[in-house]
Amino acid sequence: MAEDMIYKPREIYTRFLEKQLHEEADKWFDDLAAKANVNKDENALHVKAYQAAKAEEEAAEKKAKSGQGWATFMLVMGIIFAIVLIGIIFLVLYFTTFKKMKKERADILEKAKAKTKAKLDICYADVAALNASFDWNMPCKVLEKASTLLELDPTFKTERMQQLIVGYGYQEDDNYLHSVLGSNSGAINGNPFFLERVSECEVRDKTYTGTLVITWTTTSRDSDGHTHTDVHTQTLIATLDKPAPFYEDTTRLIYGNDAAPKLKFSRYPSGVSGKSEKEIESFVKSKVKELEKQEKKAIKKGENFTKMGNDEFDALFGANDRNNEVEFRLLFTPLAQTNMINLIKKPDPFGDDFVMVKDKKITSVASRHSQSFDYSASPARFRGFDVAAMKQAFVGYCDDFTKNLYFDLAPIMSIPLYQLHRSNENLRYGAYPSNFTKHEQETMINGLDPALFRPKDASVELPVIMKAVASTPSGKDDIVEVLATSYIATPQVELVPRLGGDGHTHLVPVPWVEYTEVQKTSFVGVGEVGSSAQEAAEKMAKIPAGQAHYERGLVSCYLGDKPSNAFAELRKVF
């Protein structure tokens, strides 16, 4: 598909693009297999032989466990009844029959395991070259081949970030409790975007609960003058709010465009996904009444909020906090409104699951479907020994990757003005202060063993947030200062007074955890080595596990609590 614009993104995807993307992924895998000289038919026979050997191994293992069980039973019975004749019989059976059976079945199992391994080794040999050819960014290349509208970057280049910062006013996140786990960047008709996965820590109150059971007695006299004593029981409950860290990983899309440069708004899912047409109509009517009230209040206050005149769009898209009616209407033409309504109302593939926020020249989209999808495209997920299963995994992942990314971009592509408003490619935005963006630096840092960064005494069960706070270019590499933050968790108990049914105040023990923030500064080297995934894996095997990380042609290396020449030594490996 080679068009300059996608005027109806949802319709184009369901009618044409979805099939083209699937076929392109299918062809991409077949080309890889052909270049690797994989004989699919021969591999299928070898896989079948392996599966048969595996079935034999499982049967032998079952028999071996059975033989072990019987032998143990005979030995135990023989020991228990050793003082009588029946015990001697059990021991004789153990030493003459069941011990021998146990050994024979164990020998058969070992031979079956060896046979299975040999068959599996043959399967892996069939596809060794194919496994070596998988690399990062292949799903991105599949998407690019299917549509020339989208440009995707192999890595998040500094030029792309500088374009967003200088050209569109984007501000990089400097919150030390936020760290980038991964990112994908690119452009739509030259307008830049990136998708980021961020690990976030927020300190907020957590409610702790404690209980105390109290008892007391009361005495009463009945009508006959008899005295009765009653025992009462009550469970007192006390709560306590204390600050605690909460962790969450979130994915969002950031997009820069000059269209409607003063406009700000935010919209959230309408909640109509999965509802019938009748239910949606009822929802729209109810929402329109609310908007009419809001419009009247705005007029009285001299504000400029007015409905668009399209009840469905007004109710389903929302964005009632918009600050500029003229620019909002400029952006949301009748076609844009129709596109958004179709995106929101149609349940396939995701329905209305997205938040959309515009802040002048920056628009962000966060969807529910992207929160649970892994965009890393690691080649490890495609490797295997069965060509048919590998193809299914590769094509299936490419289908999911492109669908998830496309429908994060769909709200943006639903606005024709965004596509018509092209970035000025002749503008120069100046130099970025380091060789790699903070996004790439933190992605590569998070690929290292977090235990290396953990502050002293920090609780091992809590995550460590690693933030790139500063970097110094060293030739083509960056030496990055990393601030790692975690917490010491200390159990505490606080006595909270509660009035009981006995008329007395009791101290209810409430267990809680005191979290003390601790930090550690370390240094990491980040550089570009350009190796393939397979070549890098062979070279990385020479480095202690966790101390270096490779992906997408980039490598990172832990340098300790001060810069060292360890990164230079790592470069020699490559």
Segment among 39-53, 423-437, 473-487 with least mean pLDDT? 423-437
Interatomic CA distance for residues 409 and 414, integer angstroms: 9
Q: 549: part of which helix (H) or strand (E)?
A: strand 548-551
Which residue, 161, 195, 160, 164, is CA-closest to 181?
195
- Tracing tokens 């936020």 back to the chain, one arrives at 178
Q: Are strands 354-359 and 264-267 parallel, antiparallel or unpaired?
A: antiparallel
Interatomic CA distance for residues 338 and 340, integer angstroms: 5
What pLDDT is stored for residue 75 in this prediction? 54
What pLDDT is stored for residue 67 in this prediction? 47
Q: Burial level of 420, CB count in 10 A (0-12/13-18/19+)?
A: exposed
What pLDDT is stored for residue 97 in this prediction? 62
Residue type, 104: E
Are 106 and 64 contacting, i.e. CB atoms less than 8 angstroms apart?
yes
Token pair belonging to 509: 């023990």
Domain ranges within the chain, ordered by starting residue: 40-126, 203-245, 438-573
Has residue 3 got a pLDDT over 60?
A: no
Q: Which of the four pLDDT bands, split at 50, 70 and 90, describes residue 567? A: confident
Has residue 308 got a pLDDT over 70?
A: yes
What is the pLDDT of the chain when averaged over all its residues? 88
Are 378 and 305 contacting, i.e. CB atoms less than 8 angstroms apart?
no
Q: Which of the listed ranges 62-76, 80-94, 276-290 does the model predict with the highest average pLDDT?
A: 276-290
Has residue 64 got a pLDDT over 50?
A: yes
Token pair belonging to 498: 């509660």
Percent of the chain at pLDDT > 70 equals 91
How many CA atoms lie within 13 Å of 368's alpha carbon, on the beta-carbon side? 11
Secondary structure of residue 382 in the 3-state scheme: coil
Which residue, 556, 554, 570, 476, is CA-closest to 524?
556
Calculate the dihedral angle through the C-alpha atoms of 529, 533, 535, 537, rounding to the nearest 10 degrees: 100
Interatomic CA distance for residues 212 and 233, integer angstroms: 10
What pLDDT is stored for residue 537 in this prediction? 79
Q: Which of the listed ranges 17-31, 89-103, 415-429 does the model predict with the highest average pLDDT?
A: 17-31
Has residue 77 got a pLDDT over 70?
A: no
Q: Which of the four pLDDT bands, split at 50, 70 and 90, describes residue 228? A: confident
What pLDDT is stored for residue 82 in this prediction? 67
What pLDDT is stored for residue 148 in this prediction? 75
What pLDDT is stored for residue 288 in this prediction? 83
Segment among 258-272, 468-482, 543-557 with least mean pLDDT? 543-557
pLDDT in tens, 309-323: 899 999 999 999 999
Has residue 476 got a pLDDT over 60?
A: yes
What pLDDT is stored for residue 460 in this prediction? 95
Q: What is the mean pLDDT of residues 522-528?
A: 94
Q: What is the mean pLDDT of residues 404-421?
A: 94
What pLDDT is stored for residue 368 in this prediction? 96
Which residue, 183, 532, 182, is CA-closest to 540?
532
What pLDDT is stored for residue 2 in this prediction? 39
Are 561 and 526 contacting, i.e. CB atoms less than 8 angstroms apart?
no
Interatomic CA distance for residues 176 and 520, integer angstroms: 12
What pLDDT is stored for residue 47 in this prediction? 94
Secondary structure of residue 428 in the 3-state scheme: coil
Q: 266: part of which helix (H) or strand (E)?
A: strand 264-267
Which residue, 524, 529, 530, is CA-closest to 566?
524
Q: Burial level of 142, CB count in 10 A (0-12/13-18/19+)?
A: buried
Q: Which residue has the higher pLDDT, 287 or 302?
A: 287
Q: Which of the listed ranges 266-280, 353-367, 518-532 does the model predict with the highest average pLDDT?
A: 353-367
Are 152 and 144 contacting, i.e. CB atoms less than 8 angstroms apart?
yes
Q: What are phi and psi of 212, to 5 degrees?
A: -145, 125
Question: Phi/psi zone of residue 514: left (φ > 0), alpha (ψ -120 to 50 degrees), beta?
Answer: beta
pLDDT in tens, 143-172: 888 877 788 999 999 999 999 999 999 999
Interatomic CA distance for residues 78 and 99, integer angstroms: 13
Interatomic CA distance for residues 393 and 401, integer angstroms: 12
Is the dihedral angle over the CA atoms 424, 427, 433, 434 positive or is it negative?
positive
- For residue 62, give the DSSP letter: H
pLDDT in tens, 177-211: 999 999 999 999 889 999 999 999 999 999 999 99
Has residue 574 got a pLDDT over 60?
A: yes
Residue type, 444: M
Are 1 and 147 contacting, i.e. CB atoms less than 8 angstroms apart?
yes
Q: Which long-range contacts (CB under 8 A, 24 or more apart) does 532-540 make?
A: 532/132, 532/135, 533/132, 533/134, 533/135, 533/136, 533/379, 534/131, 534/132, 534/133, 536/574, 539/573, 539/574, 540/573
Residue ranges of E strands in 158-226: 178-188, 191-221
Residue type, 425: E
Segment among 141-150, 312-321, 348-357, 539-548 with least mean pLDDT? 539-548
